[in-house]
Homo-oligomer: A and B are copies of this chain.
Amino acid sequence: MILLEGRKTAKDIKQEIAEEVSSFISGGGKKPHLAAILVGADGASETYVNAKVKACDNVGFDSTLIRLENKVSELELLLEIEKINNNDNIDGLIVQLPLPSHIDEMKVTQAIHPSKDVDGFHPENIGRMALNLPTYLPATPAGILELLLRYDVKTSGQHCVVVGRSHIVGSPISILLSKNNYPGNCTVTLTHSRTKNLDKITRSADILIVALGIPEFIKPEMVKDGVVIIDVGITRVESNKTKNGWKLLGDVAFEQLKNKCSFITPVPGGVGPMTIAMLLKNTLKSAKREVY
């Protein structure tokens, strides 16, 4: 069994980005600049945004964090986005989700100009992904592809089963892995809450990607020997074995089935750390005008 070590891989990628930025700038290029909008003061969102800003600093990007009050109106937020769309000095813009309930997230996502949508959530970028055109891939699916690539996991002709059809993970990764690319060329089955005989389907998977958010949902009897497992779930559960009283669990019963796998991502330290690295990659692509 080989661990797909996202933490280590993300570190390598950030190092590569730092080197690329440095040579881009010394060649006369502009320092990449990411803007992030944080609405309100939710603890988890704060942590995520701060990690993104810090990652920018570490690889030599500029960053701007715009904090808006929880009670900001949708219109004010849209005007802020419009300002950044028109600011030539900023290459990428992300709005940290979730947003307060009085704001329409889909409207906000669509307001970001596709050329600055480094989260890859805009319909134009999702459509380009589906059509195999140059685009910003959404971070989590991109992170999964990168892990498969860097660990040289065989994908062509393999049966990939995806569990969960969310817009940001399950659905896009199912599209990406079916394309005539590497990683890709999988026969892909997308499963979800209405799927019958899920056990039978997961047992037929050569590659199993799970993005449900249900701790330890996948049990050993649901997979075959030699399977590749990508576990996207990460849930905080109570624990009396840790000092802080909780631990993080994936969607896969890791300890029970790790020895059946040829490759498996740990949780934490698997897919999670890859996402920020992919966001930085998209921002660099934008600064270099590689997509638009």
A interface residues (Cβ-Cβ under 8 A, vs B):
106, 122-133, 156-157, 159, 165, 167, 171-172, 174-175, 178-180, 185, 187-192, 194-196, 201
Contact = CB atoms under 8 A, between A and B. Distances in A.
Contacts of A196: 157, 159, 187
Contacts of A126: 126-127, 130-131
Contact of A185 (B132, B172, B175, B194): B194
B188 A130 contact: no
A127 B120 CA distance: 11
Contacts of A127: 122-130
A43 B175 CA distance: 35
Contacts of A132: 167
Task: Please state the number of chain copies in the assembly.
Answer: 2
A171 B133 CA distance: 14
B187 A194 contact: yes
A153 to B, nearest CB: 15
Nearest to A170: B178
Contact of A192 (B167, B172, B187): B187
A122 B124 CA distance: 8
Contact of A187 (B179, B187, B190): B190
Contacts of A159: 196
A126 B179 CA distance: 15
A106 B194 CA distance: 36
B171 A192 contact: no
A132 to B, nearest CB: 8
Contacts of A157: 194-196
B190 A178 contact: yes
B175 A171 contact: yes
A106 B133 contact: yes
A131 B174 CA distance: 14
A129 B157 CA distance: 27
